[in-house]
Amino acid sequence: MVTVGHVAGALAAAAAVGALASPAVALPLTAMPLAPGGANPTSCGDPRPGRIPLPRPEAALALQVPGTLPDRLRVSRAPGPVDDRDQVDVALGPEGQPARVTVEQRLRITGTGDYGIYERGPARRADALDDTSPPVAKLGTVVWQGFSPGRRDLAARLTLDPGIEALRLPVGVRLEYVDALGAPQPLGAGGTVPGPGTVTVTLSDQTSQQAVLVGAGSTDASELAGVADALLGAAASPGREPPVAGRGLPCDLSADLVAQRQITVGAAQTIRGTIRVVGSTAIVAGPGTTPISNGARIAGSLPGGQVAFTARVSGRSQLVLDLTTQPTLDRRTLTPPTGFKSWAQWAAGHPSSQARRAATDTVIAAAAAAVRAADYYPYLQADLPGRAQGLFRYSLDRPAALAATRQPLRPKRGAIGVVVLAASLILANGAVLRRLS
């Protein structure tokens, strides 16, 4: 089990350098998963003797974020399930650091009665969308309060603190530029590339954490197979919520040997989008890329670590990023043992105790990864049952001076005629004045 003490005290650990999977093995992003929030309660009680508890999402409540207040842990209430849809937009500065982070949040409350929803912040500002009542940013915590007549739809744009979110976002971005002579230089505002050279875009997984898991060996191969196949099905179908203990998975497994081990737990990242250059010719290269005009399209899965893309530009230009990411499960870690098409088939073959112990390690680690992925759905985490849908979008921040487009100057015949007439009158008056002087 992911213990509260270790999860609360752990920061993102350095992961081994990974590679972005090719589009052939990448998880598609045609549908976003409907996943319960990582802080939502489950039906699991205290671990039973002689059983191996599966990792539970309650541990996410202990993960404190710098700058937050204890008020963020207040218990929410609602007359029924609350479905949550979040789009997190991250505007990046010249070095890749978040310059602005906003969340477009849409809630649907089902049931009749009062509701009070407390979400993890801190939020700097909350603006209502679609003529709905906005939440209150109370000491940074996002608070929704009101009455639902049976169904209530709420929508708001929440402005978060980019410095704090830089550590919480599932993917970190670093931008570097070297000129044609190999000298490093900073990019300009809005991703302006000073001249010929190479821009490197590095994406890093930020979901990895050190955790202590309880496991060792299960006596029941069919129990193991049921959990493994459920997780494998979720990994192959991102539209489904990641099952976790008490919500789609059993709370524990039978055991013949119980022990603790410390491992690095993280969620895989499905990534897609484009890296382009505007204003000069460019060649963009990297794993999981498909060439497009002056850039590349990306489709793949980042199982951990980091991956880099390079853009060779021929002159002064502008880098344009449009990348989306989504924490999920890495199905490659759940592949059934060699010779078996499914985990159920493996269990039917009466595996040895050694094989069951190896499978237990696989299942426990994958169940912990499912919990880590669920931590991001919903992003602000309210402790309420319901479905959540999320997407993280990364682009370069464009200052107002660059974003403003100037209208081309076009001659207006009427205005020109007035100016010509005025000029003629001025000249005529000048001639008259000279004659009178």
Residue 423 lies in a domain: no
Residue 264 has pLDDT above 90, yes or no: no
- Establish whether the linkage from the previous residue to 194 is cis, with ω within 30° of 0: no
Q: What is the average pLDDT across 143-148? A: 94
Residue 76 lies in a domain: yes
Residue 379 has pLDDT above 80, yes or no: yes
Q: Between 354 and 401, whose confidence is greater? A: 354
Beta-carbon contacts of 116 under 8 Å, excluding residues fewer than 6 positions away, are 76, 77, 78, 143, 144, 145
Number of domains in the chain: 1
Highest mean pLDDT, choosing among 35-39, 309-313, 422-426: 309-313
The pLDDT value given to residue 290: 96
Q: What is the average pLDDT across 308-320? A: 96
The pLDDT value given to residue 78: 94
- Label residue 74 by pLDDT band (50, 70, 90): low
Parent domain of 51: 4-403
- The closest of 4, 166, 199, 175 to 94, measured between CA atoms, is 175
Q: What is the average pLDDT across 74-103? A: 93
Q: Give me the half-sphere count of Cα atoms (radius 13 Å) on the Cβ side of residue 156.
A: 21
Residue 134 lies in a domain: yes
Element spanning 207, H or E: none
The pLDDT value given to residue 425: 44
Residue 419 lies in a domain: no
Q: What is the average pLDDT across 147-162? A: 95
Q: What is the average pLDDT across 31-50? A: 54
Beta-carbon contacts of 419 under 8 Å, excluding residues fewer than 6 positions away, are none
Of 123-132, 144-153, 275-284, least confident by mean pLDDT is 123-132
Output the pTM of the full model: 0.78
- Label residue 434 by pLDDT band (50, 70, 90): very low
Q: Between 408 and 178, whose confidence is greater? A: 178
Mean pLDDT taken over the chain: 80
Element spanning 16, H or E: none
Residue 373 has pLDDT above 80, yes or no: yes
Residue 431 lies in a domain: no
The pLDDT value given to residue 100: 96
- Label residue 42 by pLDDT band (50, 70, 90): low
Q: What is the average pLDDT across 395-406? A: 68
Place of tokens 């609602």: 78
The pLDDT value given to residue 212: 74
Q: Between 200 and 55, whose confidence is greater? A: 200
- What is the spatial distance between Cα 356 and Cα 365, in angstroms, rounded to a whole number? 14
358 with 13: CB under 8 angstroms?
A: no
Residue 412 lies in a domain: no
Provide the percentage of residues in the chain whose pLDDT is more than 70: 77
Query: What is the three-class DSSP state of 385?
Result: coil
Residue 110 has pLDDT above 90, yes or no: yes
Residue 416 lies in a domain: no
- Label residue 197 by pLDDT band (50, 70, 90): very high
Residue 420 lies in a domain: no
